[in-house]
Amino acid sequence: MNNHLNLLSIDNIIQEEMKQLKIPGLAIAIVSGKDIIYLKGFGKTNESGDKVTEKTVFYIGSSSKSFTAMAIMQLVEGGVLNIDDFVFQYIPQFKCIKNGKTVTVRQLLNHTSGFSTYEGMKIFNRNPKESLSQVLKYLSSVRLSRKPGASYEYSNLNYVILGKIIEIVSGMTFDNYVVSKIFKPLEMHCSFANHQKALDYGLEKGVQPVLGLIRQTEYEFHPEIIPAGYLATCAEDMAKYLIVNLNGGCYKNSRILSEDGIRTLHTKSSKTSEHYGLGWFDYGELVHHGGSCENYHTNMMLLPSKEIGLAIMYNINDNISGALIKGNFGSGETVSYDRIQSRIINVLMQEDMVSPVIARNNEFYKKINIIFVSTFTLTTIYGLALLISSYIYLPMLLIIDFLIPLLFLVSIPRVFKATWKALFRFAKGFAHILFGFLLYLILIGIMKIIVLVGFCFLPSFLS
């Protein structure tokens, strides 16, 4: 690898893609073995134009799961936890879940517990002031979507529960454990497992495309989901985390995990876990984990045989276009921005190891908006036409203009594996328009039914 030549070209790749993809700011860390070889911030952190640096803090989304898994493995190596223990041994509430008695800690770690993606997103429907302990109160109402261990389905709920197990076993809050056992030994001084502390340090609002318009957005924070997706860190600290993962659990003179422990985290965990290890996706030569919050995105990648690690953090996220992209890593949280990472890996390795994902630009949202406007217009014309028509059949109205839109209103969240409330956060604008449109269809249906009933029965009533 010609470091000098390749690292010079990285600036050009990033600047080119940031312009095309309308990325306001990002920070990147690249390590080789025990050394940081590239560390830089690009763009701005806010509307005032403050520059992104290597110390700018970002939420890292589901990349947080790798930290939670590391904490669990530390407790395993400390002899106070066994990942093949049943979860109910630590959390008695699991006995209330049908088949919950057979769920193991390992199955939570590798997403084969039987909890669905949908159940993991239902957390956003709950009170944002709830703690990890309070979340456990509703476990009795949760249903497993499949037999534990039978198959893989990614669910945030798995890692929320793991966060509580860490608290129970260690006797510390999740925040205090991660800070004292991971952040401090790795000298990660700009990293946080506490929302308020991250804000006090200077965490800014991220941005989202709202029907194509880039806007800063802010949401009520749910502290209970931190173990699954809301740790905050910077590029400089992430470089240290990459180093410990590439060097068998060691950073400088600190060992926070054994070589076997690191290898276990990075390796596919069971026959049914697809490519998932414990907090990492295992693709052979490539080990990675992405992370998507409402308005932040991160992707970490390790090439253990090459001793190369890469992390890029963005203060923007676009879950809509990401949902339509076929990535290289299955359910690895792929969005358009990940093409930057893919291109950089290919430059560093001087070969096409990864196919860059297709970039989405503003034309994508123009098409979406045209479809929305056209559908709304045609539906209105259709509704008005039938409203004044004397050839309306009541059963047809009930099915087409009321029951079908109602069915879509109920089923769409299941299709996207999230509640409407979660969709409003992660697909801002798009989800609101879709929800409003379905309500509009139902309203038209109700009006037509009222008119038809009046047309059919009012004359006879008056006579």
Give per-residue pLDDT as tens, 212-241.
Answer: 788 999 998 999 999 999 999 999 999 999
Give the percent of the chain with pLDDT over 70: 85
Give residue 459's pLDDT band: very low, low, confident or very high (50, 70, 90).
low
pLDDT digits (tens, 9 = 90+) for 77-120: 999 999 999 999 999 989 888 888 999 999 999 999 999 999 99
Give residue 242's pLDDT band: very low, low, confident or very high (50, 70, 90).
very high
Q: Compute the average pLDDT of residues 442-460.
A: 69
- Whether 296 shows a pLDDT value over 90: the answer reads yes
- Whether 70 shows a pLDDT value over 80: the answer reads yes
Helix (H, G, I), strand (E, B) or coil at 28: strand
Tell me what pLDDT residue 319 has. Answer: 81
Give residue 446's pLDDT band: very low, low, confident or very high (50, 70, 90).
confident
Tell me what pLDDT residue 127 has. Answer: 81
CATH hierarchy code of domain 3-349? 3.40.710.10
Least confident among 88-92, 122-126, 127-131, 212-216:
127-131
Tell me what pLDDT residue 330 has. Answer: 47
CA 182 to CA 75: how far, in whole Å? 12
Tell me what pLDDT residue 442 has. Answer: 83
Which has more confidence, 47 or 404? 47
Q: Which of 226-240, 262-276, 352-366 has the highest mean pLDDT?
A: 226-240
What pTM did the predictor assign? Answer: 0.89
Which has more confidence, 130 or 191? 191
- Whether 367 shows a pLDDT value over 90: the answer reads no
- Whether 335 shows a pLDDT value over 60: the answer reads yes
CA 354 to CA 334: how far, in whole Å? 13
CA 182 to CA 463: how far, in whole Å? 83
- Whether 151 shows a pLDDT value over 80: the answer reads yes
Give residue 373's pLDDT band: very low, low, confident or very high (50, 70, 90).
confident
Give residue 331's pLDDT band: very low, low, confident or very high (50, 70, 90).
very low
Which has more confidence, 211 or 215? 215
Q: By C-alpha distance, which of 269, 281, 280, 274 is closest to 83? A: 269
Q: Which helix (H) or strand (E) holds 454?
A: helix 430-462
Q: What b-and-e string marks burial along 287-302, b requiring 16 or more CB atoms within 10 Å of the CB?
A: bbbbbbbbbbbbbbbb
CA 178 to CA 175: how far, in whole Å? 6
Give residue 359's pLDDT band: very low, low, confident or very high (50, 70, 90).
low
pLDDT digits (tens, 9 = 90+) for 404-438: 888 888 888 888 888 999 999 998 988 888 898 88
CA 138 to CA 145: how far, in whole Å? 16
Q: Which residue has the tokens 């029951």?
A: 403
Tell me what pLDDT residue 456 has. Answer: 61
- C-alpha distances (whole Å) from 279 to each of 74, 154, 184 are 13, 11, 20
Least confident among 106-120, 137-151, 217-231, 258-272:
137-151
CB burial class (10 A; 0-12, 13-18, 19+) of residue 352? exposed
Which has more confidence, 414 or 170? 170
Q: Is the dihedral of CA 315, 321, 326, 330 positive or negative?
A: positive
**Average pLDDT over all residues of the chain:** 86
Tell me what pLDDT residue 404 has. Answer: 80
Q: Compute the average pLDDT of residues 22-28.
A: 96
